[in-house]
Amino acid sequence: MHMEVRINKYLSEAGVCSRREADRLIEAGKVMIDGKLAITGSKVTDAQVVKVNGITVTKEEELILLAFNKPVGVVCTTTDKQGKNNIVDYIGFEKRIYPVGRLDKESQGLILMTNDGEMMNKILKSVNGHEKEYVVEVNKPITEEFIDKMSNGIYLEELDRKTDKCFVKKEDKFSFRIILTQGLNRQIRRMSQSLGYQVTRLERIRIMNINLANLTLGQYRNVTEEEYKKLCSML
């Protein structure tokens, strides 16, 4: 028995791209099933031949999950080929992988890379507020008031949203640690800015149970079996 799945799910499970990206490829007429053009919502089984841009899709059995210490200037996109500063090209991994979520171009630190679209969807869609921890440097001395306002939530005009309460702790005169469970666009920069501070350095040091630890800037490592099991139990 071959299970039927929707073509976008099939492509995301095969590590070709995200479901959303798959839908775009299908709409653009780049996906064929057994020699016929796929349409959005087409169902497919493992017994069928699926081609994307003329290349046959083979399901990658082995799960790849990497922790990568992203340098400033590297872009977390898989669509625009922005030369060598595209995260996928920068890493140059021998198999197809893509970033789970984003980290701004001018931010650095931990980002997960995987070939498992389903895992990626789960992490991104999870509403149980998975923690992401950052260490942030700003251009002015940090006050009690700053910490208080940051942790109690700030209304961000451009996004018309109030940020959730979160853990914020002063590290030293110019830096603080913050743990977020929501990921609004450029959230920490916007929050700081609304209080009159400019972020000068932003580093993500943890995603859920996975820590940056002593991973050198620009390097990656495999997520360990133990970390992976714990991660799955949290999802």
As averages over each run of 10 residues, the pLDDT of the chain (235 residues) reads 82 84 93 93 88 83 89 81 78 87 94 86 72 97 98 95 96 97 91 98 96 94 91 84
**CA distance linking residue 32 with residue 39, whole number of Å:** 9
Instruction: Please report, for the chain, the start and end positions of each structural domain, with discontinuous segments joined by +.
Output: 5-56, 65-127+216-234, 132-207
Measuring CA to CA, which residue among 187, 210, 19, 202 is closest to residue 98? 19
pLDDT of residue 80: 55
Please answer whether residues 124 and 101 qualify as being in contact, where contact means their C-beta atoms are separated by less than 8 angstroms: yes
Residue-wise pLDDT for 109-146, tens only, equals 999 999 887 777 777 776 557 899 999 999 999 999 99
Q: Could you name the CATH architecture of 65-127+216-234?
A: 2-Layer Sandwich (3.30)
Nearest 5°: the CA angle 123, 129, 130 is 50
Class of domain 132-207 as given by CATH: alpha beta
**pTM, full prediction:** 0.75
The residues, ordered by sequence, that sit 6+ positions from 173 with a Cβ below 8 Å of its Cβ are 141, 142
**CA distance linking residue 197 with residue 175, whole number of Å:** 11
Kindly give the pairing relationship between strand 132-138 and strand 175-180. antiparallel
73-106 residues labelled b (16+ CB within 10 A) or e (exposed): ebbbbbeeeeeeebbbebbeeeeebbbbebbbbe
Q: What are the tokens at 40?
A: 């959005």
Superfamily of the domain at 5-56: RNA-binding S4 domain (3.10.290.10)
**CA distance linking residue 83 with residue 89, whole number of Å:** 8
Secondary structure of residue 19 in the 3-state scheme: helix
Residue numbers annotated as active site: 104
Report the DSSP beta bridge partners of residue 210: 207
pLDDT of residue 168: 98
